[in-house]
Amino acid sequence: MIPAAFDYYRPTDMAGVLALLQQHGDDARVMAGGHSLIPMMKLRMAEVPHLIDLQDVAGLDQISLSAEEITLGAMVTQHTIINHSDLAQAAPILREAALQIADPQVRYMGTIGGNVANGDPGNDMPGLMQCLDARLTLIGPEGERQVAARDYYEAAYMTDRADDEVLVAITLPVPQGGYAYEKQKRKIGDYATAAAAVQISKADGKVATASVAMTNLSDVPVWSEAANAALIGSECTPEAVKTAVAAMLGDIDPSEDNRGPVAFKRHVAGVVLTRAINRAWSRA
């Protein structure tokens, strides 16, 4: 389909972006890579009279690494994440997840900010950002603020970001221990039927820390404190993994759609999460 008519803007700085958002209010939307918003516009699921492209805004495509933290500009592409050697060494789970997003064509243009910002339940990065305890930096007319990824998502396509705010960066602590991003999908390029992000650290043969999140199994990504608690202090035995999976299955709320009925999705979620926990533990 063809989207409804819209005016297109390509400002060169954040001041210009914010001025356009204030001028046009609810009729304006910001676009990063466009792979989430443009399909919705084509399907007439979103009508955007004023489209603001961030491609020419300087400084949004930078990656900063220190011993403690990683900061990713909102316009960093999935392709860049995959091919940035220092980032892959510091946080290999980012690369593992990015490689499973869509296909190479999409990854060349698709950005981490676009994937995270709009609250699409099917996107991969929101659940991963919750797993990694990321903080999202938003800029608006009132200045800059940070929101924890675990607090950012409110419902499908509804987030804590105000209409006149822009997501500009994502900051996360350098992950420790073993990791896995496991995803089941119908075909290459599709959203996940279920996906799991797991980060586990080990001490004295037992799980010292655990963080477990899943994607596309509720209106929002699900980070499960109960699943984490089931793993921490255990030797990650089959029984502990089964308990953690059961806890996550109690936290998700899938709905039937063209990816399958609820019972199938819950089954897939259990299989995917079991694989992810075991793989993360083997790398811890």
Domain assignment present for residue 155? The answer is yes
Q: Are residues 48 and 140 in the same domain?
A: no
Of the listed ranges 46-50, 119-123, 247-251, the one predicted with least confidence: 46-50
Q: What is the pLDDT of residue 262?
A: 98
Q: Are residues 132 and 149 in the same domain?
A: yes
Domain assignment present for residue 108? The answer is yes
For the chain, how are helix, strand and coil distributed in percent, rounded to 5?
35, 30, 35
Q: Are residues 156 and 193 in the same domain?
A: no
Domain assignment present for residue 254? The answer is yes
Q: Are residues 191 and 112 in the same domain?
A: no
Q: To the nearest whole percent, how much of the chain has pLDDT over 70?
A: 100
CATH number at residue 90: 3.30.465.10
Which of 173, 189, 206 finishes a domain?
173
pLDDT for residue 34 is more than 90: no
Residues 6+ apart with CB under 8 A from 247: 224, 226, 227, 229, 230
Domain assignment present for residue 123? The answer is yes
CATH number at residue 18: 3.30.43.10
CATH number at residue 279: 3.30.390.50
Q: What is the pLDDT of residue 3?
A: 85
Is residue 243 within 8 A of residue 210, CB to CB? The reply is no
Whole-angstrom distance, CA of residue 230 vs CA of residue 277: 12
Interval 250-268: pLDDT, tens: 999 999 999 999 999 999 9
Q: Are residues 139 and 205 in the same domain?
A: no
Q: Are residues 97 and 140 in the same domain?
A: yes
pLDDT for residue 87 is more than 80: yes
Q: Are residues 78 and 164 in the same domain?
A: yes
What band does 241 get if pLDDT is binned at 50, 70 and 90? very high
pTM of the model: 0.94
pLDDT for residue 35 is more than 80: no
Q: Are residues 184 and 169 in the same domain?
A: no
Q: Are residues 116 and 152 in the same domain?
A: yes
Q: What is the pLDDT of residue 162?
A: 94
Q: Are residues 165 and 182 in the same domain?
A: no
Helix (H) or strand (E) segment spanning residue 208: strand 206-215
For the chain, the domain total comes to 3
Domain assignment present for residue 160? The answer is yes
Whole-angstrom distance, CA of residue 268 vs CA of residue 231: 20
Which of 153, 173, 193 finishes a domain?
173
Q: Are residues 212 and 167 in the same domain?
A: no
Which of 173, 191, 209 finishes a domain?
173
Domain assignment present for residue 90? The answer is yes
Q: Which range of residues forms the domain containing residue 210? A: 178-283
Q: Are residues 69 and 113 in the same domain?
A: yes
The angle that helices 262-283 and 238-251 make with each other, rounded to 10 degrees, is: 140
Domain assignment present for residue 104? The answer is yes
Domain assignment present for residue 1? The answer is no
